[in-house]
Structure 1
Amino acid sequence: MPERKARTLASACAISVFTALASCTPATILPGDTLPIAVESTVIAELGGSPTIAPGLTFLGGLELSSPEPLFGAFSSIRFRDDQAFLGVFDTGYWIEGRILRDGEGHLSGVEAVRLAPLLDASGQESQSKFQVDAESLALDGDRAFVGFEQRHRVVTYAPLSDLGKALPFTPLDFPFDLDILHSNGGFESLVIAPQGSAIAGALVAITEKSFDENGNIYAAIVGGPLPGQFRVRPRDEFEITDATFLPDGDLLLLERRFSIATGVGMRLRRIEGDSVRPDAVVDGEILFEANYRSQIDNMEGLDAIPEPDGSVRLIVVSDDNHSILQRTLMLEFRLQPQG
């Protein structure tokens, strides 16, 4: 994330104090409970701008999401449990779950049944420290979740997901390198389980955002599975990795984000051959999509893939609004056709 988030929930409320003081009081969620919230949706029909789009990739539409609940926002990762139900994490220390809605033509039209819950500590309490709950990445494995945190770098297992308000953390996972080498705001932005059929099937693949080795490559790890170890991702053009997902054919798709005063915000999708993700490898791949601020994008941080019966895959990308009135929570959808 951009360096960082001096825009906290408190500062967002301070900015808007003259217009909606009462609405800036976030709800209190008791440990063990979840909070149903209303989320409003505005449909995005056109991507706009002049993005670079590879053959086989199509923009389907999207949503701009908002809520009267101040806790809503700061999306860092999203995972789909089926073709409608999603689970995500906010970097302010909250779970979000809900379901997407589609219109008669199958395009995104809204979300429903949205609930929030705090990420609890081992004692079952909500932490009051941003340093402890800066959740950036998420992977699902049955009724448990792996959550990656930065600032205090670690990847923690939570369970049970069937009772989200009561999900508790377990001992952080071990990694093949010392986590003290990671950049304070450039930790594990991507967590994803390697699919069956892969040489690393069942392993947890963890990729950092902007933590570089002595050769300028990005630290990444394969945790568990048949070939555990560390590997690297070659960076490109000052883009930073913000999430990843495996495609049905086993390839790894990276979501990348660039932000600078000179160029504004950018979004990119990069495809890595699945067979290249192995210990000691330095991986790179083709760019499928790239857009700048002229398109309907924002600070895109979460990505997941939903396989379709025809062999294509729907890609859903969400943005982190940093609880800033200058940014938006977006959910964008693309379709990627299988390679010929």
Structure 2
Amino acid sequence: MIIRPGLKLAILVLASAFCVLAGVAATAARDLLADGQAVKVRTRPIDTFHIGHDETRFGKLTFLGGLEVIASDRKVGGLSGVVSLDGGNGFLAVTDNGHWVTGRVDQTDQGKPTGISDVRFALLRGSDGKSLRARWGHDTEALALAPSGLYVTAETRNAIYRYPWPLSKGNERMVGELALPEEIRDLPRNAGLESLDVAPGEGPLAGQLIAIAESAPSDAHGLAGYIIGPEGSKAFKIKRRDRFDATDAVFLANGDL
């Protein structure tokens, strides 16, 4: 997702029972990016999920509300992936220009977001300490938090990076880059790895990464998906319809993706 004019970020909240890694996602946003740069933001409410319609129920999901977030610094734009922290009270996000962003989510007792505060940001850095922007590896799109670390996809390189967790300072270096097959590396540069999550702790896929490509040439072609684990990678397809693309992925409590 690329949002350039106005530096606007959209944060949407849908209520559902989804899997949270206990202890891992319990980290509070205030404990992250301590050496990051503070940034002022203002927000406007998003009251409906479907423009021009008032319904709030979408299948098993209930739309609680959303925020349009406008940052004072041009570096904070193009929010791509978000990890919910501290029971939904905080977040860590990655932008598609290679920055971490963290903050606190202000919300009602019913979970409707009313604003964000204590926002800080910092550059993603490679294993050599240089920023990803310096190496053209910064088109970062998705985040997944696992006991083994924090994983980030880079769409232009079709790569998956691993970072230590928690990002206490914000200048932590990349731990490494996952070894991926050529099939993944050869995905279209601007329609590559867009979605990422970690399979829940029970079941045959427990702890493995699920990565999904953003798009396909047509509805006749399925979206490319991959199961990535210690023993290698396996490919699968997701049936595409109505020309929808995959922009993110999350596992529900029952194991559904």
After TM superposition, the score normalised by the length of structure 1 is 0.60
Deviation, 1:41, is: 1.8
Aligned residue for 2:114? 109
Residue among 22, 39, 42 paired with 2:41? 39
Q: Given the alignment of the two structures, is residue 78 of structure 1 paired with residue 82 of structure 2, yes or no?
A: yes
Report the structure number with the largest CA radius of gyration: 1
User: Please, which runs of 5 or more residues in structure 1 have no aligned partner?
Assistant: 14-30, 253-340
Deviation, 1:129, is: 4.3
Residue among 185, 190, 193 paired with 1:188? 193
Deviation, 1:163, is: 2.0
Q: How far, CA to CA, are the matches of 1:195 and 1:43 in structure 2? A: 32
> Residue type matched to 1:199 in 2?
P
Q: How far, CA to CA, are the matches of 2:253 and 2:165 in structure 1? A: 26
Q: 1:230 to 1:104 in 2, by over 3 A?
A: closer
Deviation, 1:107, is: 1.9
Q: Identical aligned pairs, as a percentage? A: 31
Q: How far, CA to CA, are the matches of 1:251 and 1:40 in structure 2? A: 35
> Residue type matched to 2:202 in 1?
G
Q: Is the 8 A contact 2:97 2:133 kept in 1?
A: no
Deviation, 1:102, is: 1.0
After TM superposition, the score normalised by the length of structure 2 is 0.78
Q: 1:205 to 1:68 in 2, by over 3 A?
A: same
Q: 1:124 to 1:226 in 2, by over 3 A?
A: closer
* Equivalences, count: 227
Aligned residue for 1:203? 208
Equivalent residues in 2 for 1:51-62, closer than 5 Å = 53-62=57-66
Deviation, 1:151, is: 1.3
> What do the CA deviations read for 1:283-322 (whole angstroms, capped 9, x no partner)?
xxxxxxxxxxxxxxxxxxxxxxxxxxxxxxxxxxxxxxxx
Q: How far, CA to CA, are the matches of 2:230 and 2:80 in structure 1? A: 26
> Residue type matched to 1:234 in 2?
K
Q: 1:229 to 1:164 in 2, by over 3 A?
A: farther
Deviation, 1:114, is: 1.1
Deviation, 1:166, is: 2.2
Q: 1:77 to 1:100 in 2, by over 3 A?
A: same
> Residue type matched to 1:57 in 2?
L
Q: How far, CA to CA, are the matches of 1:226 and 1:177 in structure 2? A: 16
Q: Is the 8 A contact 1:200 1:226 kept in 2?
A: no
Equivalent residues in 2 for 1:1-340, closer than 5 Å = 1=1, 33-47=35-49, 48-50=51-53, 53-83=57-87, 84-129=89-134, 131-142=136-147, 144-210=149-215, 216-224=221-229, 228-252=233-257
Structure richer in strand, relative to its length: 1
Deviation, 1:59, is: 2.1
> Residue type matched to 1:49 in 2?
G
Q: How far, CA to CA, are the matches of 1:46 and 1:237 in structure 2? A: 21
> Residue type matched to 2:43 in 1?
S
Q: Is the 8 A contact 2:200 2:255 kept in 1?
A: yes
Q: How far, CA to CA, are the matches of 1:136 and 1:130 in structure 2? A: 16
Deviation, 1:232, is: 1.3
Deviation, 1:130, is: 7.6
Q: How far, CA to CA, are the matches of 2:58 and 2:46 in structure 1? A: 21
